[in-house]
Amino acid sequence: MKSLKELDQIREKALEMTRVRQGQGLVKIVVGLGTCGIAAGARDVMAAILDELSKRGLTSVTVSQTGCVGLCDQEPLVDVIKAGEPRVTYGRVTPEVARKIIAQHVINHQVLGEWVIATKEA
Amino acid sequence: MEFYRSHVLVCAGTNCSLKGNRAVREALVQEVARRKLDREVKVVETGCFGLCEQGPTIVIYPEGVLYCQTTVADIPEIVETHLLKGRLVQRLLYKEPVATKPVQTAPELDYFKRQVRVVLRNCGLINPEVVEEYLAQGGYQALGKALTTMSPDEVIATIKNAKLRGRGGAGFPTGLKWEFARKAAGSRKYIVGNADEGEPGTFKDRLILEGDPHSVLEGMAIAGYAVGADYGYIYIRGEYTLSIKRLKLAIEQARKLGLLGRDIFGSGFDFDVEIRTGAGAYVCGEETALFESLEGGRGEPRVKPPYPTDAGLFGQPTSINNVETLANVAPIISRGADWFRSLGTERTPGTKVFTLTGDIVNEGLIEVPMGITLREVIYDIGGGTKDGKTFKMAQTGGTSGGCLPQELLDVPMDYDNLAAAGSALGSGALLIMDDTHCIVDVAKCFARFFEHESCGKCVPCREGTMRLYQLVDKITRGEADEGTIPLITALAEMMYKSPLCPLGQTAPLPIMSTLKYFRDEYDAHINEKRCPTGTCKAIAARVQVAD
């Protein structure tokens, strides 16, 4: 260790790795991982979301899962909840759409209208 | 960098491992893999979380949900219900003894609400075997700050200003110790981390070293810089296998990152640490006996003066500090003396780590501000006595501390107040007993312990601890007379003053405190030949023969 700066760089990286333990972030993504969701490919959607967040270093986003909400026909379902914004539910999400959700909705605040099946005021 | 949506923290401290946490952890890893969640969920081993009574504990982030007393059989349900479906496993949540609703997360527990975690800041939160997790919490920032922006004298001034006192039991001002060692003349100086935690009922240093070994190494390196020492030893009990393993790993990691070794932070300061293990003698926790043992000699105390800061290890100026003291150093350097003084009391700022054992609902490891009352610790945090039995006494400071009765429950816990009450803060062991225990029998156990552990070097201790045991034993057998207690008192007076080291000097203290506060029970044994709790079988047998 040659300087405090070097230490800070290692710390930054390490902090990202453990941020999930700081509690819920400002953006929360919920994936439907009931039997219906999994059968419709929610597993791959989840993997794509984690991969995309990881690539972009968006570790402050909380990713969570839920069971069947009764809309089996629309699975895989992905909810994006941002502080102070309506909850947006996307239906029939594919891994590719999931990556778009991260890029456009989570980062650029543009809801992907054609995939939305419901919105709910916060 | 791997990103996981959930981190599952499993306690891997010694106490939980006695309750089968390894099997739980392995089952968890397997089940997570079986459910193909291993790319989404990370299982992390941590140090002791403090809630030992409820172990093995599991905390799931980001929600921070705490599950208690988990078994291998619970794992499939936790994985399926919580990790897969995102619902709570209600039946494994913690239930307060009096509360109606189960508690979801640790900070909501009464057990944690009153706690202030400085020393235990990372315990149960980080994986102690991954240095990056310590760095993420701001680890080694204090060392960097000290080496690059402060002079050794400024470091000492900060510690003095913070009024940090040694947490091993004696309560000597740490800054002053460092200053003495700095000013002493010597060809080489040493830092010794005292991890020879021998006081019965104390396991805080073990769990600190298991849960956050780097915090102690960082404290030692800062101490080395302040004192002008380039080498440190950690003298640790040989039985502490997990602590030793994690310490070794931590030392290797720190060396690899250049946080130990040569020219740390480009400051020109060199420091390295070596582990030495003890062989289990209680007296080796005494600093000069520890040096003897560390040098390869017989673990017996030296005559003081000279004090360790003048002539300690290998005859050189040495600062020997307790593990908990060392773990306090980095936060003080990072956050300043004023912050530290804002915690605890005027004369003894900061926090204290206590280990709760005995007839108490929540046995475990806690950290509270100095000056909190015994009552608050036992009832608000510890949950009171077990099985609704009546509180009898609390022994503070381990076996060498005094026993306090109900009437003294409101004594503030710090060095001065406990000493005034005829006890000691000591190592932070807190033994709670209910009224089913016979106080004379308990005193006999204390006396037996000291007789066994006396190293035999000086006569007052060697003979005194033996006679003390014989006298108390006589009382439990119904063989004592009116001369016994005056004899014990006279013996105690001699022993407070004469022995070489605190082992003999404090040996009478627990016995005298029971005499002071529970005299009626002694009188029943001596005058009526009766043990009120029915514990002392010998006295009952004797009475039967007499009948």
Could you tell me if residue B459 is inside a domain?
yes
| Per-residue confidence (pLDDT) for residue B28, from 0 to 100 | 94
Expressed as residue numbers, the domain containing B497 is 439-546
Q: In the predicted model, is pLDDT for residue B431 greater than 80?
A: yes
Q: How far is B207 from chain A (nearest CA, A)?
A: 21
**A34 contacts B1? CB cut-off 8 A:** no
Whether residues B37 and B59 fall in one domain: yes
Residue B461 amino acid letter = C
Chain A residues near residue B144 by CB distance under 8 angstroms: 1, 3-4, 7
**A4 contacts B84? CB cut-off 8 A:** no
Chain B residues near residue A67 by CB distance under 8 angstroms: 85-87
Among B341, B361, B390, the domain boundary falls at B341
Domains of chain A by range and CATH?
29-120 (3.40.30.10)
Could you tell me if residue B121 is inside a domain?
no
Structure tokens at B291: 């040096």
pLDDT tens, B128-174?
Answer: 999 999 999 999 999 999 999 999 999 999 999 999 999 998 899 99
Residue B398 amino acid letter = G
Report residue B542's pLDDT band, with 50, 70 and 90 as the boundaries.
confident
**A54 contacts B40? CB cut-off 8 A:** no
Q: Which ipTM score applies to this complex?
A: 0.79
**A33 contacts B85? CB cut-off 8 A:** yes
**B84 contacts A20? CB cut-off 8 A:** no
Whether residues B429 and B446 fall in one domain: no
DSSP state letters, B335-392? H-HHHHHTSB-SSSBSEEEEEEEESBSS-EEEEEETT-BHHIIIIIIT-SBGGGPPEE
Say how many domains are in chain B: 4
CATH classification at residue B539: 1.20.1440.230
In this prediction, what percent of chain B has a pLDDT beyond 70? 99
Q: Does A10 touch chain B (CB under 8 A)?
A: yes
Among B405, B434, B463, the domain boundary falls at B434
Considering only B10-19, B252-261, B270-279, B351-360, which range has the smallest mean pLDDT?
Answer: B10-19
Chain A residue with minimal CA distance to B261?
Answer: A1
Q: In the predicted model, is pLDDT for residue B509 greater than 90?
A: yes
Chain A residues near residue B85 by CB distance under 8 angstroms: 33-34, 65-67
Q: Going from the first residue of chain A to its last (122 residues), give the mean pLDDT of each consecutive group of 10, the final group possibly shorter.
A: 89 80 78 86 91 84 81 88 86 93 88 86 69
Whether residues B217 and B334 fall in one domain: yes
End-to-end CA distance of chain A: 47
CA gap B433, B378 in Å, rounded? 11
Whether residues B378 and B400 fall in one domain: yes
Among B341, B370, B388, the domain boundary falls at B341
Asked whether the bond before A86 is cis by omega within 30 degrees of 0, the reply is no
Residue B157 has φ and ψ, to the nearest 5°, of -60, -40
Q: Does A7 touch chain B (CB under 8 A)?
A: yes
Could you tell me if residue B182 is inside a domain?
yes
Q: Across residues B66-88, what is the average pLDDT?
A: 91
Q: Across residues B13-21, what is the average pLDDT?
A: 83
DSSP state letters, chain A? ---HHHHHHHHHHHHHHHGGGG---SEEEEEE-SHHHHHTTHHHHHHHHHHHHHHHT-TTSEEEEE---S-GGGPSPEEEEETTS-EEEE-S--HHHHHHIIIIIIIT----GGGEEEEE--
Looking at per-residue pLDDT, the higher value among B226 and B104 belongs to B226
CB B26 within 8 A of CB B71: no
Could you tell me if residue B122 is inside a domain?
no
Looking at chain B, how many residues does it have? 547
Whether residues B154 and B272 fall in one domain: yes
Stretch 13-32 of chain A: residues touching chain B, C-beta under 8 Å: 13-18, 20-25, 30
CATH classification at residue B53: 3.40.30.10
Q: Which of B62, B133, B266 sits opposite A20 (nearest CB)?
A: B62
Whether residues B142 and B82 fall in one domain: no
Nearest to B46 by CA among B213, B194, B205: B213
Asked whether the bond before B56 is cis by omega within 30 degrees of 0, the reply is yes
**A17 contacts B136? CB cut-off 8 A:** yes
Whether residues B167 and B266 fall in one domain: yes
Report residue B501's pLDDT band, with 50, 70 and 90 as the boundaries.
very high
Which residue do the tokens 């017989």 mark? B298
Whether residues B399 and B495 fall in one domain: no
Find the helix or strand (DSSP H, E) in which B67 lies: strand B65-67
Q: Does A50 touch chain B (CB under 8 A)?
A: yes
Whether residues B416 and B445 fall in one domain: no
| Per-residue confidence (pLDDT) for residue B95, from 0 to 100 | 81
Q: In the predicted model, is pLDDT for residue B177 greater than 70?
A: yes
Chain A residues near residue B39 by CB distance under 8 angstroms: 47, 50
| Per-residue confidence (pLDDT) for residue B547, from 0 to 100 | 67
Could you tell me if residue B77 is inside a domain?
yes
Whether residues B180 and B100 fall in one domain: no
Whether residues B404 and B506 fall in one domain: no
Whether residues B282 and B158 fall in one domain: yes
Chain A residues near residue B62 by CB distance under 8 angstroms: 20-25, 62, 64
Q: In the predicted model, is pLDDT for residue B20 greater than 90?
A: no
Could you tell me if residue B126 is inside a domain?
no
CB B52 within 8 A of CB B16: yes
CATH classification at residue B367: 3.10.20.600
Report residue B439's pLDDT band, with 50, 70 and 90 as the boundaries.
very high
| Per-residue confidence (pLDDT) for residue B514, from 0 to 100 | 96
Mean pLDDT score across all residues of chain B: 93
Could you tell me if residue B321 is inside a domain?
yes
Could you tell me if residue B1 is inside a domain?
no
Chain B residues near residue A66 by CB distance under 8 angstroms: 85-86
| Per-residue confidence (pLDDT) for residue A24, from 0 to 100 | 65
CA gap A82, A90 in Å, rounded? 14
Q: In the predicted model, is pLDDT for residue B488 greater than 90?
A: yes
| Per-residue confidence (pLDDT) for residue B270, from 0 to 100 | 97
Q: In the predicted model, is pLDDT for residue B100 greater than 60?
A: no
